[in-house]
Structure 1
Amino acid sequence: MYIKATSRSTNDRARLWTPLYPATDGLCIEWFYHMYGDTVNTLNVYVVDSTSTVGTPVWTKTNNQRNVWIPGQVSVTVYGIYKIMFEGIRRSDYISGIGLDDVTITNGACLTQAFAQCDFEDPSICNFVQDTMDDFNWTRKSASTPSSNTGPSFDHTYRTSQGHYLYIEATSRNTNGTARIWTPLYPATNLVCIEWFYHMYGDTVNTLNVYVVDSTRIVGTPVWTKTNNQGNIWILGKISVAVFGICHIMFEGIRGSNYTSGIALDDIKITNGACLGQVVESTTVVPTTQQSTTDKSTTVVSTNVVESTTVVSTTQQSTTDTTQIQSEDTKKSEYLFKHSSKDLLFGVGIGIAIGIAIGIVASFMCRRIILWKRTSSSKKTERTKTETQAKATRENKDQAGSS
């Protein structure tokens, strides 16, 4: 489905309604949208009860999002019978195309629903807030950064020069100068999964820190940190943090000694619950029992990193993983040697026993054969002697008869 903007007026609306759906435990609404054109205006999504009274949209997107299909998703807490309404709004001319496809509505919250999912394509940067007490700001950018030999050449989302990301511009900044940006407040019932892509390229890259901060905005120890040049690539960062209440996520970039200190961020996603899937970078964080004395009703439990970050790549494994593999190989070798030795000794014993048995049987058979031969020879001699005597007797009788 799409809205055709030709021969329409500015701000004309096109609305599409679903049938009524029952909701006993909220609704998950998922769809794909396409918003391509220099004068694209707005796509809104509404959840409307059986009275058909249209209120505030539960989801909205504005402006050109390029020539790609993008997944949309929203969980809403509703009970009863509801319709979903999609509204496309035309802007000033015909290049205001908006398309919809693959709409899915299910009972219950979306399993992969994120509190925040930001690719920085919208100029509002998802309502992230620049810190006012740091030294300089993060900058929204597309294509390459102004300085050479540092920073990305394209975004992570679309991997093109048209996609956007955030970065710190280190030119004309002081060494160790900081730039901080905050997410809005998000609720957390147990664990929060924070995922993002980072780019740290340049000879003097310093540090990227990630903090989880409660509503008092008191900044403690980072839950994740990375330092130094990581190469001209986008890398996935992922961490599960034990928190309770509402919290901000804050990203802090620290400038190195000169302009080749580029650090960039893209595709930030914050989800309730532990991170799932392949862990490219992960840190295990456990809560202490200490609570904030400032705001007990919205407390983020203080966190302590109890395991170091493990980086897994196709070309290099961490020292810890290598040591574990070597240890496992050593144990396997010891086990195989031990049991192989036992098997060898057992085999030798069996061989000796079999050899002795064969020797005894052979000796017995030899003795029987020799005895048999001796007995046969004695019998033959006696038979010959008897035959000779009988012949002599016959010859004597014949002579006597002749006389």
Structure 2
Amino acid sequence: MVKIGRALVVLLLALPAGTAAPAVAGPAQAVAGPAHRPWTGSWETSPSGTTRALPGAAVRNVVHLSVGGSAVRIRLGNRLGTAPLNVGALTVALRRAAGPDAVPGTVRTATFRGARTVTVPPGEDTVSDPVPLPVPAAADLLVTVYTPGDSGPASYHRTALQTSYLAPAGAGRAADERGTAYPKRISSWYYVTGVDVRGDARGSVVAFGDSLTDGTGSTPDTNHRWPDRLAERLRAHRFGVLNAGIAGNRLLLEGTGPSGLTRLDVDALDRDGVRALVVFEGINDIKATPAGGEVAAYLDGYRGLVARAHARGIRVVGLTLTPYGGYRAHTDAGEVVRQRVNDLIRTAGVFDAVADADAAVRDPADAARIRPDYDPGDHLHFNDAGMAVIADTVRRALARHLGIGG
């Protein structure tokens, strides 16, 4: 049996019985000055591994916010690195249309306890001081990180599905408004792991999972991952959405990035303003094990992760595991395990609510396969239409807990 302490195919947002609900901004808070408003996560990515360092380069990461605010904070990560990460400059700006150009007058230099440089020890993250910069919901930001020397393996998120930009000779370029010094296009996010905003958001939902959440199968540079589509549906209700998906990640087992059990706190529960967590994970564990693994291990894992979420005052909604018939790693034994795990997700009472993603996307003619109109061609992931269906399914599961209507 796979040894686990806890896991989670979930989506959270309310409180366990007997726990006081988190405070919702009332009249007294509404009139408080901007500096006293709470921080809420607006964008996130989780480190998926390391790659070669970029000494002397500046990386202009393009990130897409869910909710806006009057100020931002930038999170940087050296979580998977083996040497101190020396950051020579960090800037943030609103993006001007497509490309690496900033909106004139919006470039801000971030500081860390008042200093313009920072050293992040290996295995750790850091967060900048507040940066006064009004940002609207659904804005693209340019988060530029300049590393003057070789800081060893760089923590990055490999599958960004977003074009960012690199200035090979980055000294003095982090604050450039024009992007002419950034000729190289890259498809990963380097060092940056999150953006918090200060404003009137009611909290955030964390989407926690593997490539299905990371966005594989959706159109690059369009923000059509299902967490992005969920953000569109929750924006009017002032809830942000954070994407903590990692392509290749597993719930119970180590794989691409730390397992879901290992990374739950740092990638989800520790984020600012979290009111809900969506964990849509487990299919890679089934694929990695010849017989799909012990069903009891998944149940044990889900129970543990739900308990950890409940300890933070967060309710959990489980997502069923979606079909993968026709995918190269599909087996009949694995399909049996998937169906049994889904039965437990639906009926065992582990979760506060269930979003039945399996029922939403399976082919009526073959329950082991995704509907052809949702399949990008690999029989595992979702195209843009499939991503929108997942987002709608999750939103319905959240509606009662968030008080937003069906």
Question: TM-score per shorter chain, which class?
Answer: under 0.3
Structure with more strand by fraction: 1
Bigger Rg, structure 1 or 2: 1
Normalised TM-score (structure 2) = 0.27
Normalised TM-score (structure 1) = 0.27
